[in-house]
Structure 1
Amino acid sequence: MRKKIITAVLFTISIILAGCHSGSNESQNKSEDQENKLNIVTTFYPMYEFTKEIVGDKTNISMLIPTTVEPHDFEPTAKDLANIQQADGLVYNNENMETWIDEVQQAVNTEELELINASEGIELLPFLTEGHSHEEGHSHEEEQSHGEGRSHEFDPHLWLSPKMAMLEVENISKKIIRIDPANRKTYEQNTKHYLEKLKKLDEQYESVLKSVKNKEIITQHAAFGYLADSYGLKQIPIAGLSPDNEPGAKQLKELKEFAKKHNIKTIFFEENASSKVAETLANELQAKTAVLSTLEGLSDEEIQNGKTYISIMEKNLQVLEKALK
């Protein structure tokens, strides 16, 4: 009887050990699978989603800028630079958004890292602040500068126009394929599928904004230039590139006069910025305020709840349609 018990115990232990060994092998295989994939770092949310839609599960992909940080204010740390150096590619929007990209090029070995400029070859709009007055020594050049002598010569907000987003996706896809030709077919199929979705979004914007009565939009900062340019609107920003810039009394007066002249009843602001300035102007005009998302950062909760570039851009379109009709 005792022999039977010992045999049973040994048999049970052998099963447990075999299971542990199997689990260890599975874990090792998963680890090796992860190591064999490309590692792609993306800067902020739109670049992350565009790249994720292209690569699917074929690469390890991460986002450099935390969703709690305004991308215009971000500066990479030494740890960030180390993570970038370990990657196979860095996807960024353009040097007018990621003004620190030159520092990255100088700090890391670019022979082992593909720098993927999503806006490469796309004609950028000059950074202008129509109707934006400057007083008390506050010059246009000062407003354009960001950080130690860095300037925003061109508008970086391409992704806020579906037309421009499609061009950025095509650029990213070509570069990903170049560094990982073995998965070319998958990347091409994924890109085609995502571009079809973006094309449908573009057609929705074309259809809706073509029929709206008013074409002028007053926005908290100059983020919607490409959207306006693509779909026949005119953007009048309260502030410049940064949503935190506050206008002077003279500029508020000019904006108030402009809004009255063009019968503007809605002032747009962004979800991640203070609405104080927009509300001040709206109160003076007896107008409403509404949120237009810049998609510069989605929270983990929003992502988990299924929010995407396309769903939020559809929401933006609904907001525009309601305000402009």
Structure 2
Amino acid sequence: MTWKKFLLGLKKSQKVGSLVVIILCLSAVIIAGCSLTKQASLVEPENGKLKICTSFYPIYIMALNLVQDVPGVELLSIAPPDTGCLHDVHLSPVDLKTLAESDIFIINGSGMEEYLEEVLTELPNLKVIDSTAGLNLTNPHAWVSVGLNIQQVRTIGEQLAELDPANKEKYLENMANYIAKLEELKDRMQHSLASLTNRKIVTFHQAFPYLAEELDLEILAVVQPEAGSEPSAKELAEIIKLVRDHQVKAIFIEPQYPDGTAQVIARETGAKVYTLDPAATGPLTADAYLQIMEKNLLTLQEALKE
């Protein structure tokens, strides 16, 4: 049968003709639906400029390395660079307006951004990249560990490449370059501290468990589990006894907080106070995290040497 005869036959059957129309319409809907689903996963920047917002300093530094030389990208952070960790931080109307004007919002995740539910309620169409998604962390300070920082960088880089496919190759190139630097830093830190026999430390906040695990250090006590909380007289006495009993040589404070309680413990035990930086604040430069961790390495070597 020729196509001409087949089509003439179809015209003679109104029922068959209607069926063909229905099939064609359904096919068009399915094709359009697939196309819309694919487009929904991408961002559509206005005026050719992609606006990426980060939640706070550590995430900003990761993103800064990933967007280097990517055309048309504007990168900013909701929190000022001296904010530190986002404990009890709430968004202002100005912050929400900034996010409403952004195409992508990159967060640390794992509970660090306590305001996230509010953001998702107010801006349900905002593309959010959760840098610790899938890591199943019990503590949000992932970035302080160089190894976990690498995983965060990889997650952000791969998702930026998906959301902005026009610049996919550049994102992935930047990601590979930065991860290579981080891998070298992690290996050097582990190698430099491998021979230590004194591995017991006291820290002031819950910022260092992943770094301690990565470097095989034992945190005997955390003086102030929550930022701004001071230990009671009983708790302070227990910590002083612990430091004495275990002959702890180093107490590590953070540059973002006062050292009064640490100095009390040091006077009572003979331990020395050192500054270990969780890289929650700092300069807005691409190598800032690398430089902060390099300084931390020197501090640990000095504090824990025999």
Write out the 4+ residue segments of structure 1 that deviate beyond 6 Å after TM superposition: none
Q: 1:278 aligned to 2:293?
A: no
Give the 3-state SS of the residue equivalent to 2:62 in structure 1.
helix
Looking at structure 1, the residues matched to 112 and 105 of structure 2 have their Cα atoms a distance apart, in angstroms, of: 14
What's 1:262 paired with? 246
Give the 3-state SS of the residue equivalent to 1:211 in structure 2.
coil
Q: Tell me if the contact between 1:223 and 1:241 (Cα under 8 Å) persists in the aligned partners.
A: no
Task: Give 1:123-138 correspondences, 5 Å limit.
Answer: 123-124=136-137
Looking at structure 1, the residues matched to 264 and 51 of structure 2 have their Cα atoms a distance apart, in angstroms, of: 46
Q: 1:50 aligned to 2:62?
A: yes
Q: Tell me if the contact between 2:204 and 2:254 (Cα under 8 Å) persists in the aligned partners.
A: yes
Per mean C-alpha deviation after superposition, the further-off stretch among 167-176 and 232-241 is 232-241
- The alpha-carbon distance between structure 1 residues 307 and 170, as it changes in their structure 2 partners (threshold 3 A), is closer
Q: Tell me if the contact between 1:65 and 1:74 (Cα under 8 Å) persists in the aligned partners.
A: no
**Residue 99 of structure 1: how far off its partner (Å):** 1.0
Q: 1:107 aligned to 2:122?
A: yes
Identical counterparts, % of pairs: 32
TM-score normalized by structure 2? 0.80
**Residue 196 of structure 1: how far off its partner (Å):** 0.3
Looking at structure 2, the residues matched to 109 and 200 of structure 1 have their Cα atoms a distance apart, in angstroms, of: 39
**Residue 311 of structure 1: how far off its partner (Å):** 0.5
Looking at structure 1, the residues matched to 261 and 52 of structure 2 have their Cα atoms a distance apart, in angstroms, of: 38
Q: Tell me if the contact between 1:239 and 1:247 (Cα under 8 Å) persists in the aligned partners.
A: yes
Give the 3-state SS of the residue equivalent to 2:117 in structure 1.
helix
User: What is the identity, as a one-letter code, of the residue corresponding to 1:81?
Assistant: L
Q: Tell me if the contact between 2:104 and 2:127 (Cα under 8 Å) persists in the aligned partners.
A: yes
- The alpha-carbon distance between structure 1 residues 323 and 203, as it changes in their structure 2 partners (threshold 3 A), is same
Match for 1:240 among 196, 221, 225?
225
What's 2:80 paired with? 66
Task: Give 1:222-241 correspondences, 5 Å limit.
Answer: 222-235=206-219, 236-241=221-226
Q: 1:221 aligned to 2:205?
A: yes
Give the 3-state SS of the residue equivalent to 1:60 in structure 2.
strand
**Residue 35 of structure 1: how far off its partner (Å):** 3.9
Q: Tell me if the contact between 2:193 and 2:301 (Cα under 8 Å) persists in the aligned partners.
A: yes
What's 2:133 paired with? 120
Q: 1:290 aligned to 2:303?
A: no
Output one character per residue of 1:214-255: Cα deviation in whole Å (capped at 9) or x when no partner.
Answer: 11111111110110122211222101132x111112221221
Q: RMSD value over aligned CA atoms?
A: 1.7
Q: Tell me if the contact between 2:88 and 2:114 (Cα under 8 Å) persists in the aligned partners.
A: no
Q: Tell me if the contact between 2:110 and 2:139 (Cα under 8 Å) persists in the aligned partners.
A: no
Looking at structure 1, the residues matched to 184 and 46 of structure 2 have their Cα atoms a distance apart, in angstroms, of: 34
**Residue 34 of structure 1: how far off its partner (Å):** 9.3
What's 2:102 paired with? 87
**Residue 308 of structure 1: how far off its partner (Å):** 0.4
Looking at structure 1, the residues matched to 265 and 245 of structure 2 have their Cα atoms a distance apart, in angstroms, of: 15
Give the 3-state SS of the residue equivalent to 2:87 in structure 1.
helix
Give the 3-state SS of the residue equivalent to 1:72 in structure 2.
coil
Looking at structure 1, the residues matched to 207 and 63 of structure 2 have their Cα atoms a distance apart, in angstroms, of: 22
Task: Give 1:136-175 correspondences, 5 Å limit.
Answer: 154-175=138-159
Looking at structure 1, the residues matched to 287 and 232 of structure 2 have their Cα atoms a distance apart, in angstroms, of: 36
Q: 1:312 aligned to 2:292?
A: yes
Per mean C-alpha deviation after superposition, the further-off stretch among 157-166 and 50-59 is 50-59
In the alignment, structure 1 segments of 5+ residues that lack a partner are: 1-32, 125-153
Match for 2:113 among 64, 73, 98?
98
**Residue 177 of structure 1: how far off its partner (Å):** 0.9
| Total equivalences in the alignment | 257
- The alpha-carbon distance between structure 1 residues 257 and 207, as it changes in their structure 2 partners (threshold 3 A), is same
TM-score normalized by structure 1? 0.75
Looking at structure 1, the residues matched to 246 and 47 of structure 2 have their Cα atoms a distance apart, in angstroms, of: 58
Looking at structure 1, the residues matched to 224 and 159 of structure 2 have their Cα atoms a distance apart, in angstroms, of: 35
Task: Give 1:161-200 correspondences, 5 Å limit.
Answer: 161-200=145-184
Larger Rg: 2
Output one character per residue of 1:147-166: Cα deviation in whole Å (capped at 9) or x when no partner.
Answer: xxxxxxx2110011100000
Output one character per residue of 1:158-201: Cα deviation in whole Å (capped at 9) or x when no partner.
Answer: 01110000000001011111110111111111000000000001
Q: Tell me if the contact between 2:62 and 2:153 (Cα under 8 Å) persists in the aligned partners.
A: yes
**Residue 307 of structure 1: how far off its partner (Å):** 6.2
**Residue 297 of structure 1: how far off its partner (Å):** 1.5
Q: Tell me if the contact between 1:217 and 1:267 (Cα under 8 Å) persists in the aligned partners.
A: yes
Looking at structure 1, the residues matched to 109 and 284 of structure 2 have their Cα atoms a distance apart, in angstroms, of: 24
Q: Tell me if the contact between 2:52 and 2:104 (Cα under 8 Å) persists in the aligned partners.
A: yes
